[in-house]
């Protein structure tokens, strides 16, 4: 399963007023694991940036003057996103801008929803936590995800943070014993060849270790700090 976590920064709030995308950042997940195959560009919008937008992301016209135009990276972005599930926080905003950019080019690709599956993590969060704040910062606080580097918005940084949030939101079972009764009846032990070759030991990478420890901390918090593994002594080495 290939998923892309996407975020953009823009010159303003409304593409109908001529505002443009000035940064696009994506991270790739394959089977819920970060691959490092990221997509990131700053873009020259060929127009001024609203002061309010600069206060949010810190990107200026001067910084973007020598950056590529959207049309120069459009096909690369299309190929990167095509047929993937694309996860976006407040998807209507980013998708509206991306569709606008392709229309400006006269592209034949059509609206984004016709060539990839779009998942709105904000919509998911509102269903999971009705009546609560569900901004990216609020979700980081809820799931105890470190976003201390997020002094300003940035498309790639926000996509990386959203990937952590999304993995926590979709972590599967709500308790350690949720699936016990549903799977026990279907389980049948299988014999294996005792002469089979040794299995390779694949060590967790940094991303996997980070996800693991965040999940452990979330379980520990949900259990009130009463975790069985903390009461079991470590085996002697």
- On whether the CB atoms of residues 61 and 88 are closer than 8 A, the answer is no
- Spacing of C-alpha 192 from chain mean position: 39
Q: Among all residues, which ones are annotated catalytic? A: 153
Strand stretches in 11-149, DSSP E: 21-30, 33-34, 39-42, 85-88, 117-120
Contact 107, 125 (CB under 8 A): no
Cα 221 to the center of its chain, rounded Å? 23
Asked if residues 161 and 147 have their Cβ atoms less than 8 Å apart, the reply is yes
C-alpha–C-alpha distance, residues 23 and 120, integer Å = 19
């Amino acid at each position: 399963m290939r998923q892309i976590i996407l975020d953009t920064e823009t010159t303003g709030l409304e593409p109908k007023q001529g505002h443009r995308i000035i940064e696009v950042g994506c991270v790739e997940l394959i089977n819920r694991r970060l691959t490092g195959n990221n997509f990131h560009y700053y873009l020259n919008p060929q127009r001024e940036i609203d002061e309010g937008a600069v206060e949010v992301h810190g990107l200026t016209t001067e910084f973007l003057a020598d950056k590529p135009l959207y049309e120069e990276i459009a096909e690369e972005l299309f190929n990167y996103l095509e047929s993937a599930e694309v996860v976006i926080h407040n998807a209507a905003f980013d998708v509206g801008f991306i569709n606008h950019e392709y229309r400006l080019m006269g592209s034949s690709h059509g609206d984004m929803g016709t060539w990839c599956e779009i998942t709105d993590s904000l919509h998911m969060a509102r269903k999971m936590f009705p009546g609560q704040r569900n901004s990216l910062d609020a979700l980081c606080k809820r799931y105890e995800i470190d976003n201390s580097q997020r002094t300003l918005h940035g498309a790639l940084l926000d996509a990386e943070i959203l990937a952590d949030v999304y993995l926590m939101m979709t972590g599967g079972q709500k308790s350690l014993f949720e699936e016990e009764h549903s799977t026990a009846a279907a389980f049948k032990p299988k014999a294996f060849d005792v002469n089979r070759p040794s299995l390779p030991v694949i060590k967790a990478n940094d991303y996997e270790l980070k996800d693991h420890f965040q999940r452990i901390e979330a379980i520990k918090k949900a259990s009130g700090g009463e975790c069985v593994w903390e009461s079991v002594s470590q085996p002697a080495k």
